[in-house]
Structure 1
Amino acid sequence: MREPAWYRSGDEPDYRFSLANERTFLAWIRSALALLAGAVAVLQFLPPAALSGMRDVLAAVLAAAGTVLPLAAYHRWSRIQRAMRLGRELPFTPLLAVMAVGAGVLGVGVVLLAVLP
């Protein structure tokens, strides 16, 4: 695979910062895999909900999040890498807040599904 054009611009940052950025990217990938595993667990282990189809909806949301998250993680990694190469401030990302709120909402959904008859 060819490197992106921005990879040739600016100066190579200290390798420690590049590797830290890569470790963060890999942590996001692990989170995506956990979301996908959560989707499978919801389908396999939660009892059928009183609200018809809710279990399937929750599993679909988890699977969709687990599919989209790696794309967002790569975008975040590349923006930070580019900023480091060009000596700019690191860019803001709403990804952290979105994941925190999303995990909380999904957690509430799982609890509700687990206690509903």
Structure 2
Amino acid sequence: MDRRWPRSVYGVGDEPDPRFSMSNERTALAWMRTAMALLAGGVALISVSSLATLPKWSALVASAACVGGGALAWRAVVAWARIERALRTHQALPPPRALVSLAGGVIVLAGLTLVLSLVQLLRS
């Protein structure tokens, strides 16, 4: 009896080639590193803002980075499970939704930072 968890992944289909399964895991871990980098960036911005006088909107950017990091970590787990199930059931691999989410989030965060920086610059 297979006792691996989650059952929704390991309880279906056949055992895939370990190389593909390990590749999927490495990709998920890379997404986790990216999520932790976003979280660390948000925490660093919050920490620096307590030591220096930064615009109040920096807390908004820091919060967005932290929330984005948490959301990306969740998406990494979901994508890993979807791909692992596809490998086990010999289905086509699902599209990389997390990549689109990450790109959109980074673009929004960059745009928010740019707009708020320009507003701050024009006020001073």
TM category (shorter chain) comes to 0.7 to 0.9
Deviation at 1:37, TM superposition (A): 1.2
Provide closer, same or farther for how the CA distance between residues 105 and 47 of structure 1 changes in structure 2, counting only shifts above 3 A.
farther
Does residue 1:75 correspond to 2:75, yes or no?
Answer: no
Instruction: Report the 3-state secondary structure (helix = DSSP H, G, I; strand = E; otherwise coil) of the residue aligned with 1:23.
Output: helix
- Structure 1 residues 2 and 87: alpha-carbon distance in aligned structure 2, compared to 1, 3 A threshold: closer
Structure possessing the higher radius of gyration over alpha carbons: 2
- Give ranges in structure 1 of 5+ residues lacking alignment: none
Contact 1:11–1:85 (CA<8 Å) still a contact in 2? yes
Contact 1:58 1:106 in 2 (8 A): yes
Which of residues 7, 18, 22 in structure 2 aligns to 1:5?
A: 7
Structure 2, gaps ≥5 residues long: none
Q: Please list the CA deviations of residues 6-64 of structure 1 after superposition, one character each: whole Å capped at 9, or x if unmatched.
A: 30321111111001100100001001111011102322168522xxx311111111111
Matched, 1:64 2:67: yes
Matched pairs, number = 114
Alignment-derived partner of residue 17 in structure 1? 20
**RMSD value, Cα:** 2.2
1:28–1:70 contact (8 Å) kept in structure 2? yes
More relative contact order, 1 or 2 (CA 8 Å, 6+ apart): 1
User: What TM-score does the superposition give when structure 2 sets the normalisation length?
Assistant: 0.79
Q: Percent identity?
A: 39
Moved over 6 A (4+): none
Alignment of 1:1-117 (within 5 A): 3-6=5-8, 7-43=10-46, 44=48, 48-49=54-55, 53-113=56-116, 116-117=120-121
Normalised by the length of structure 1, the TM-score is: 0.83
